[in-house]
Amino acid sequence: MSLFIYCCAFVLDLILGDPPHWPHPIRWIGTAISRTEKVIRRLSRDERWLYTGGAVLWIVIVAMSWGVTWLIVETASTVHLWLGEIITLWLAYTIFAGRCLADCANVVYQAQGLGNIEESRLQLSYIVGRDTRSLDDTQISRAVVETVAENAVDGVIAPMFYLFLGGVPLAMAYKAINTLDSMVGYKNEKYRALGYVSARMDDLANWLPARLSWVLFSLAALLLRYDAKSALTIGWRDRYQHKSPNCAWPEASVAGALGIQLGGPNDYFGQRVEKPWIGDNKRPLERDDIQRTIRLMYLASILALFVYSGVCLMIGIC
């Protein structure tokens, strides 16, 4: 039954995405992070205390996310078996972000198609951390491609991995880890100490899923008749061309599949950051590469579903 529910949750995300006015556990986790951060900052005396506080923040939020999810599912199942299954389906659906990621990318893509570069920059600013105010059309497309490739891991491939591994409580704990990194895992002055543990633990949680994405994107490239050989070889060659130990794996695979270059220098919070190039510049990057990357993301996600389901059936954990 669990396997069927997880597959249905994935399909629901493809159909519904993330309606903005629907209740969502990740928003509640974000609220809990903000409130706990304020308490920790009030109690911390110096930077050393902030490092300790950051560890406490991580433990509290991740443990709470796992524990509350487990309690909700168990309580619902005690009331009625079918209520437990419905709650499990809803919670499993909320951990996926593939449709939301594609929708956000398409908003930028459509604004570009209308020739509205200011709107393109504005919409892009909602999904990336870099300064978008002076980006040209090619740079906007590159940023969207990078975002879709990178977030395919923490938006679909990784949460699906933990869902099949340990059910919705473990998957929700993973989403808490990912949300902590998104909110406090920066290396700037404000979060260098408080966010240290969150950033490192997110790297650890995504270590295996990021490497699985290299294989999944390469297989997707093969099925879509893109350059699967380059996806595989460049994905391996440029796997460390990023400050993150994980991000370059999916980005390099997509760059190889499409024959384009990603990465390069960008502005973050008013500072110029020199980043290495990823991939080979076989052709100029273009707006339609956004759609190609979305197709790669969707197919890699579907392949992940088949792979995880197959492994679960073989070892009997679902």
- Structure confidence at residue 268 (pLDDT): 64
Structure tokens at 255: 């760059």
CB 85 within 8 A of CB 167: no
pLDDT at 1 over 70: no
Where along the chain do its domains lie? Answer: 2-315
**Average pLDDT for residues 89-107, to the nearest whole number?**
97
Contacts 24+ apart (CB under 8 A), 203-209: 203/244, 203/245, 203/246, 205/158, 205/162, 205/174, 205/177, 205/178, 206/153, 206/154, 206/158, 206/178, 206/246, 207/245, 207/246, 208/161, 209/153, 209/154, 209/157, 209/158, 209/161
Residue 130 is classified by DSSP as: B
Residue 226 is classified by DSSP as: S
How far, in Å, CA of 273 to CA of 257, rounded?
26
pLDDT at 36 over 80: yes
Residues ≥6 apart with Cβ < 8 Å to 302? none
In the chain, the percentage of residues whose pLDDT exceeds 70 is 97
The mean pLDDT value of the chain amounts to 94
pLDDT at 50 over 90: yes
How far, in Å, CA of 238 to CA of 234, rounded?
6
How far, in Å, CA of 31 to CA of 50, rounded?
19
- Structure confidence at residue 264 (pLDDT): 83
Pairing of strands 271-273, 266-268: antiparallel
Please say whether the dihedral angle defined by the alpha carbons of residues 314, 316, 317 and 318, taken in this order, is positive or negative: positive
**For 44-48, 175-179, 272-276, 305-309, which range has the lowest pLDDT when averaged over its residues?**
272-276
pLDDT at 187 over 80: no
At 20, is the pLDDT very low, low, confident or very high (cuts 50, 70, 90)?
A: confident
- Structure confidence at residue 267 (pLDDT): 66
pLDDT at 122 over 80: yes
pTM of the model: 0.94
**Average pLDDT for residues 252-272, to the nearest whole number?**
85
How far, in Å, CA of 98 to CA of 294, rounded?
9
Structure tokens at 145: 């491609």
